[in-house]
Structure 1
Amino acid sequence: MQQKNEEIKSIPMLEAETQIAMYEIDAESNLTADTSQVYLGNKGLIAFIALMNMFIPLSTDLYLPALPQMNTYFGSSSAITNLTLSAFFIFYAVGMLFWGPLSDRYGRKPVLIMGSIVYMMCSIVCALSSNIYFLILARSLQGIGAGGITSVSIAIIKDSFSGKRRESILAVCQAVSGLAPMLAPVVGSLILRFTNWRGTFWTLAVISIISLVLSILYQETLKEEERYKGTLAGSIGRLLIVAKNRGFIIPAVIFSLSAIPFMGYIATSAYIYEDYFGLSAQSYSYFFAANALLTLFGPFIYVRFLSAMDKKVFTLLFFGISTLSGVLVMTIGTVAPILFLLSFVLMSLSVAITRPFSTNLLLEQQKSDIGSASSLINTLFTVFGTTGMTIASVPWGNIVVGLGVLITIFSALTLVSWILFLKSNIPCVGLKDKLSF
């Protein structure tokens, strides 16, 4: 507990890092007159994008401590209750495939407003649910609303910034959004002290109201001349055009493989810490938050110390570290919760460090249809993540070993696939034409 308190006290240092990065971004911003934010301002826009990226971890991690309680309340098994997670992600992915292309045709703002409204209404329905299957249905529709909020987040960054500034902004947004998985389980466990699991969904409803207000204040960043001028059906068809770009889609698939073990951890972490190691819901939230806190520094580590590194060496190094993490989880991670944390954090930190580079690399491959590209990036991560949640929820003889196997196999697959891609003749702007951005 004392160790956790010391970790939480390190947050001011993170805030100082964030302020420095935000100052640099503000000083170097290249927002045009057409995309300037009169109401939100430059920093407000970045904070809004960070909030968009928080919606998914908030939608899942906030009620993770309540999963065992929900099992008891509904009289369901953990596999059934976990469908509230996997169903959310499935429909979130489906929703993004429509929202992203629509934002290329109609603009980012209408999509943000509609997504926020749908999410808010479904959060209220979730809070009022009295049947586990009705809750699963409400969570599915909530996922569609979440897709409208997050599908355009990356596109807005591409609309407004370029080059190294974009990479720095991606790092800031991804790091700040990392506060959600750190704080959500802690807040969720505190909510359980005063109310039951329903309180977590009322909290999500309030957050969606904030998103709706910010969406109204946000000024459109997609210029009229850059919008898709074809039919509605044609705008959805642009997904296929983007998917045919091998320099985009193959790296997107490879980077998304990390979602399988990571979301497997999200689905099983409460059971690992509470059931396997016998910790309380409050203690579980501290361990979960500790992993998120350490991961939070990943994007800053990349920008400050690793952005000039040979990108081929950089990616191979951290894919290798992720594979090592799986082996450690299978072995020493089964002994004690602190050893499990230290073993798994290598994988989650590796993913966080590579995210600014991988996202920027993918954006470099597309000069248009950015909403569709953003949708595909998020959808691939979500689909693989849902797969990971399903696999991890299958009864294992040892739940920790099962997660370790998941990390090892898919991290190794990522490493091998990346090596094959680097050796192929498929062009990739920013990687094969030069070693750094």
Structure 2
Amino acid sequence: MTAIYQESKPISSRQKYLGDKGLIVFIALLSAFAPISTDLYLPALPGMSDYFHVTGDLANLTLILFFIFFSLGMFVWGPLSDKYGRRPILITCLVLYIISSFGCAISLNIWYLIVFRVFQAIGGSGAITVATAIVRDSYSGKKQESVLAVVQSMIFIAPAVAPVLGAFMLPYTSWRGIFWTLTLIGLISLCGALLFSESIPSRFNGTVMQSMKKLGVVLSNRSFSSLLIIFSLTTITPLSFVAASSFIFERGFGVSEQVFSLFFALNALGLILGPFIYLWLFRHFTRSQIIVFSFIITIIGGVLVCIIGNLGPLVFSFALLPASVMTSCVKIPGTFLTLEQQKKDTGSAVALVNSFSLIFGTIGMFLISFDMTGTFLLGTLNIVVGFVCLVGWLIVKKLKVADIQE
């Protein structure tokens, strides 16, 4: 059977119930599933290992395996959303997320919790994949980039609010209460999915296997894959910080869970400001100039952490802040330029962008596990990632491997 794309009705006739503003808020909520599902219970992670009488490394598997299966899930949901549409895939994923969050809340031991976290990751991966695909479906050009920036800033509100909320929930509830909260968030998202109208402009009419093979087709696009690698590497540093943050602050610096959440929120504030800083910089500089500047600041931030990061929690937080700001700043043009290299198979392209980011982020979480309470390794990762990305970007620009819209 010949695989073709079946055209759908115009985008402007959709979103009867959500509207344009409601759609952006809905997309932001879906995109925040990864940070919400991890950062909300970060303050409870050390205490959780004590509750189950296991090591911190074993408890940390609830984070590492979450990101691994979150990444793998996107490889499946992206192509399937190109074939069956965004809405049915989204509803299926949210139902799975709700059921598995419920399972996490009632887990009797660490192994049950790990298993349910895997299924929670698989369900949540569909949410973030479809969210980015909806942006690509519904907007184009500068409007698409502006929406990506707004959504990205709202995404980073989750890491700022979630640990604070999680820490202040702990005196009144256990870590189980945090997973009950995630179940509720899943239910709210499902309500939004039921109100959402299909956004895909054309569906792939080939077989499921042909849909899955689209991942290889997109990946073989040299311009797409080169930018994919460069900008996926940038997630190594923020996710390594997420994995080690509670141990650095609570066990390394000896602060309480509540105080940790405030320091974590300070770093997340930098991530929130990044997209707004990018929109301001884009009025005065080209995308390429902003990208180069971002990588240089990341390197400088890493050097500061290595030199003075061990002097105290406040010094460490402010030393890391510049790198955090520029990591989120560079994410906007990185995502936009990468997706611009692939005009078709949006679901597959989005799946690769998101999954590669989390795969490299998971590598960062693994690397930081060699020193969970120290700051020097985290600073070193920022230096190495910033340098490698900077060199890679300059090579791509010089050799004109990709179509770079300045």
Contact 1:264 1:391 in 2 (8 A): yes
The within-5 A match list for 1:124-273 is 124-223=102-201, 226-273=202-249
Identify the match of residue 358 of structure 2 among 365, 382, 389.
382
**1:283 equivalent in structure 2:** 259
In structure 1, C-alpha distance between the alignment counterparts of 2:370 and 2:58, rounded to whole Å: 11
Identify the match of residue 338 of structure 1 among 294, 303, 314.
314
SS at structure 1 position matched to 2:107: coil
State the shift of 1:427 in Å.
3.1
Could you report, residue by residue, the CA deviation over 1:353-402 in whole angstroms, capped at 9, with x for unpaired residues?
A: 11221111112111110000010000001100111111111246x61111
SS at structure 2 position matched to 1:296: helix
State the shift of 1:32 in Å.
4.5
Q: Aligned letter for 1:104? A: D
Contact 2:101 2:180 in 1 (8 A): yes
SS at structure 2 position matched to 1:219: coil
Could you report, residue by residue, the CA deviation over 1:198-237 in whole angstroms, capped at 9, with x for unpaired residues?
A: 11110000000011110110000013xx211111100000
**1:19 equivalent in structure 2:** none
**1:367 equivalent in structure 2:** 343
State the shift of 1:143 in Å.
0.5
In structure 2, C-alpha distance between the alignment counterparts of 1:244 and 1:371, rounded to whole Å: 16
State the shift of 1:81 in Å.
0.6
In structure 2, C-alpha distance between the alignment counterparts of 1:58 and 1:324, rounded to whole Å: 29
In structure 2, C-alpha distance between the alignment counterparts of 1:339 and 1:293, rounded to whole Å: 16
Q: Aligned letter for 2:104? A: C
Q: 1:378 to 1:307 in 2, by over 3 A?
A: farther
Identify the match of residue 82 of structure 1 among 60, 66, 70.
60
Q: 1:395 to 1:33 in 2, by over 3 A?
A: closer
State the shift of 1:154 in Å.
1.3
**2:334 equivalent in structure 1:** 358
In structure 1, C-alpha distance between the alignment counterparts of 2:293 and 2:386, rounded to whole Å: 12
Q: 1:322 to 1:35 in 2, by over 3 A?
A: farther
State the shift of 1:33 in Å.
5.0
**1:400 equivalent in structure 2:** 375
In structure 2, C-alpha distance between the alignment counterparts of 1:35 and 1:149, rounded to whole Å: 23
Q: 1:35 to 1:134 in 2, by over 3 A?
A: farther
For these two proteins, the number of residue pairs brought into alignment is: 398
Q: Aligned letter for 1:354? A: V
Contact 1:107 1:220 in 2 (8 A): yes
- Indicate the larger mover: 275-284 or 129-138: 129-138
Kindly, what percent of the aligned residue pairs are identical? 42
SS at structure 2 position matched to 1:368: coil
In structure 1, C-alpha distance between the alignment counterparts of 2:13 and 2:79, rounded to whole Å: 20
SS at structure 2 position matched to 1:251: helix
In structure 2, C-alpha distance between the alignment counterparts of 1:175 and 1:129, rounded to whole Å: 33
State the shift of 1:429 in Å.
4.3
Could you report, residue by residue, the CA deviation over 1:230-262 in whole angstroms, capped at 9, with x for unpaired residues?
A: 111000000001001111111111111111121
**1:410 equivalent in structure 2:** 385
Q: TM-score, normalised by structure 1?
A: 0.89
Q: Aligned letter for 1:211? A: S
Identify the match of residue 426 of structure 1 among 375, 379, 401.
401
SS at structure 1 position matched to 2:54: coil
Q: Aligned letter for 1:73? A: Y
State the shift of 1:352 in Å.
1.2
Q: Aligned letter for 1:363? A: L
Contact 2:281 2:290 in 1 (8 A): no
Could you report, residue by residue, the CA deviation over 1:10-47 in whole angstroms, capped at 9, with x for unpaired residues?
A: xxxxxxxxxxxxxxxxxxxxx95555211111100000
Query: Where in structure 1 are there 5+ consecutive unaligned residues?
Result: 1-30
Contact 1:35 1:221 in 2 (8 A): no
Contact 2:154 2:272 in 1 (8 A): yes
Contact 2:62 2:113 in 1 (8 A): yes
In structure 2, C-alpha distance between the alignment counterparts of 1:206 and 1:390, rounded to whole Å: 30
Contact 1:93 1:382 in 2 (8 A): yes
Q: CA RMSD in A?
A: 1.4
Contact 2:310 2:374 in 1 (8 A): no
Q: Which stretches of structure 1, 4 residues or more, deviate above 3 A after TM superposition?
A: 31-35
**1:40 equivalent in structure 2:** 18
Query: Where in structure 2 are there 5+ consecutive unaligned residues?
Result: 1-8
State the shift of 1:290 in Å.
1.3
Q: TM-score, normalised by structure 2?
A: 0.95
Q: 1:162 to 1:51 in 2, by over 3 A?
A: same
SS at structure 2 position matched to 1:227: strand
Contact 1:120 1:209 in 2 (8 A): yes
SS at structure 1 position matched to 2:15: coil
SS at structure 1 position matched to 2:32: helix
